Every structure is written in structure tokens, then in C-alpha cells.
Chains A and B, each alone.
Chain A
């Protein structure tokens, strides 16, 4: 992987904060960086192809769209880990699924529009072979959701 240039870092720092909502958003970013729209676009295409960008786009407030999220911790017998993890991955409303160190060793996030869906899915998961325990850790309040990395 190539090193990021000073220009790349400025571009990524800016784009992590905002994407303008106007007809030519990349021209607007270019003007702020003192360069041309073409340069911004070609550099972003390069940075994306090199794997520096997870995603450029829109991140929604799931609660405002009528969805409720929760964090679920599972205690899974080690020999069943991959079968349980793969079964969990099949749910489209489960977006993040991580094996972690500790007593509860598989953690996932679940977003549903209806309480009944959440209950049904958690019941199905409780019954998977190798699942010995489940914690449903509902958020009371979000204090921060802001994934930004200032590049120097």
C-alpha cells in the first residue's frame, strides 16, 4: 500500500467531516482545497481502489428512520463458533458481528423496525447449537457516534 500524500490527508480529513449537498459537491471540495474537481475525483477513485476508504456516502440516524438497535453478546462453545457466526451473518439486519476475547465471545449489532422481529431473531439465535448464553444490551442513550480519524 502506498503512503498517503499531504494532499490525500487534507482531502480525507475534509471528506470525513462533510460531503456537500449541491450539484457539484466535488468541485466545492476542490475549491476549498485549492485544486480542481478532476483531481479530487481521480484521487478519491485511487484511494478507494487502494482500500483506504471504507465508504463514501450517507449514514442514517436509524432511530429517526423508525429502527431500534441493540448490542447482543453470546457465549458460544468454541467448537461451534464458525457455525454460529455464519448463521448470524445470514440476517441482513445484523450489520456487525465480531468474535471477541472473554467469557462472552461473539458480539453483534441488530437493527429492527419492529420489536417482534427482534424477539423472533434473538429466540432463533438462542436455539442455535453451541449457544450457551445471550445478553441483550439495549442502549438507553447514544452519547457519541462519530468515526473520524484525523490524519497528520
Chain B
């Protein structure tokens, strides 16, 4: 009985020590004191990841080298940032105009408030919609749902918006089509640089 207890305590102590060692190695021990839950290590991993991804055989080793840590630790922190949903996506975003999707439009919809959630969910499910957010209205500005639609032409965008209105039982005059005339800026956010 007491033997059992001893070995159990030893195991527990061993586990704790191991965990603490792992936490220290992973930088999570530092995490607890940070108001936004991110250690300095994780912030440097984020800064390394937010640029262009190296197109080389061992890209994570290259990124790890830039911030002076091992590839193993770098990969572990990326897994952790994925698991905690701080990373939304890793992968490619295409230059949509160059792959045939020449036209896009931001559409503001006027949706009855009690139907907003239902309509937003249905619109988000459409493959033509890349972004779907509900937003506050303003005096003289009744639009409370915004979708970005992508098509091959302006006519296709008009048709997509027409169809989305019909599918969602919205009047055809209850939207604003905000076609872009000029792209003044399009960049990726650089986090933790200021």
C-alpha cells in the first residue's frame, strides 16, 4: 500500500518536473505573466511567420535560424499557435485577378435584425463569398451585413448578388454594391512591430 503510494508520488513529481521542463523549453512558463497570453518567444515566432514563407526544402529551419532557436522548438510553437487558433490559416492566397477572378464587389445588405444570423450563415456558405461580417449601422446607412463576392465579370457579380438576395428572400433594392475603382493599399498586417 505505502509502496504504491510512494511510487505514485514519485510519478506525480516526475511528471510535474518533466512538464515544467517542457514548459520552460516551450516558453509557456513565461506566458502566464503576459496579459494577452503570448510569450516573447511566441511573438518572435509570429514576427518570423508573418513575412513571406521561404520556398526552400526546410523552411521552418530557416525561419527558426532567423530568430535564433531550434527548428524543433519553432515547429512546436507553430503547432501550439495553430491549436490555440491564433493562426487562422497557413497556405497560399492567390492573386485573384490573375487566376481569372477579375471582378469582385463588396456588398452591403439591409437585413431585418431578427433574420441577420440566419441570412449571414447562408451567405457565408456560398462559394462565391470570401468574407462575411455583420456590422453596426449608422444614421442614413442601414446596411448591417457585408459580403465580398468574386466573379469573372461585373455581370457575374450582379447575378451572384441577385441570386443571393432571392435565396435569402431579401428585396432586390435592399443592398448597396460597392465596386472598387482603385486599390490604394493592400498589405498584410505586421503584428507586434510597434
- Cβ of B71: which chain A residues have Cβ within 8 Å of it? 23
Which residues of A in the span 35-74 have a Cβ within 8 Å of any Cβ on B? 37, 41, 44-45, 48, 50-62, 64-67, 71, 73
Which residues of B in the span 175-194 have a Cβ within 8 Å of any Cβ on A? 176-194
A100: Cβ under 8 A from any B Cβ: yes
> Smallest distance from the beta carbon of B122 to chain A beta carbons, Å?
10
Quick one: CB contact mask for B121-157 with A, threshold 8 Å, 1 for yes?
Answer: 1011001011111111010010000100010000000
Closest to B139 in A: A135
Q: Among B46, B58, B96, B178, point to the contact of A147 (Cβ < 8 A).
A: B96
Q: How many residues of B contact A (CB 8 A)?
A: 74
Q: Among A55, A65, A141, point to the contact of B92 (Cβ < 8 A).
A: A55
Q: Among B57, B95, B130, point to the contact of A146 (Cβ < 8 A).
A: B130
Using known A-B contacts A58-B53, A60-B50, A88-B185, determine if residue A4 contacts B99 with beta carbons closer than 8 Å.
Answer: yes
Closest to A135 in B: B138
* Bound Cα distance from A18 to B93, whole angstroms: 11
Using known A-B contacts A24-B58, A65-B86, determine if residue A143 contacts B133 with beta carbons closer than 8 Å.
Answer: yes
Which residues of B in the span 47-68 have a Cβ within 8 Å of any Cβ on A? 49-53, 55-61
* Bound Cα distance from A142 to B191, whole angstroms: 20
Which residues of A in the span 98-113 have a Cβ within 8 Å of any Cβ on B? 98-102, 104-108, 111
Question: SS class of chain A's interface: helix, strand, loop or mixed?
Answer: mixed
Using known A-B contacts A1-B98, A54-B95, A55-B93, determine if residue A26 contacts B132 with beta carbons closer than 8 Å.
Answer: no
Using known A-B contacts A99-B181, A139-B135, determine if residue A12 contacts B92 with beta carbons closer than 8 Å.
Answer: yes
| 18 A–B contacts, CB within 8 A, in A order | A12-B94, A23-B75, A52-B98, A58-B49, A59-B87, A62-B189, A62-B191, A65-B86, A71-B135, A92-B190, A98-B180, A99-B180, A101-B179, A137-B136, A139-B135, A141-B120, A144-B131, A146-B131
Partner-A contacts on B (CB < 8 A):
36, 38, 46, 49-53, 55-61, 71, 75, 78-79, 82, 84-96, 98-101, 106, 120-121, 123-124, 127, 129-136, 138, 141, 146, 150, 176-194
Given contacts A73-B141, A101-B180, list 13 more A-B pairs with CB under 8 A.
Answer: A15-B91, A37-B57, A41-B56, A41-B57, A51-B95, A56-B91, A67-B191, A95-B185, A100-B181, A101-B181, A138-B136, A140-B135, A146-B89
Partner-B contacts on A (CB < 8 A):
1, 4, 12, 15-19, 21-27, 37, 41, 44-45, 48, 50-62, 64-67, 71, 73, 85-86, 88-89, 92-102, 104-108, 111, 135-151
The 10 closest A-B pairs by CB, nearest first: A144-B124, A97-B185, A143-B124, A66-B36, A143-B132, A58-B49, A19-B90, A99-B182, A144-B132, A57-B53
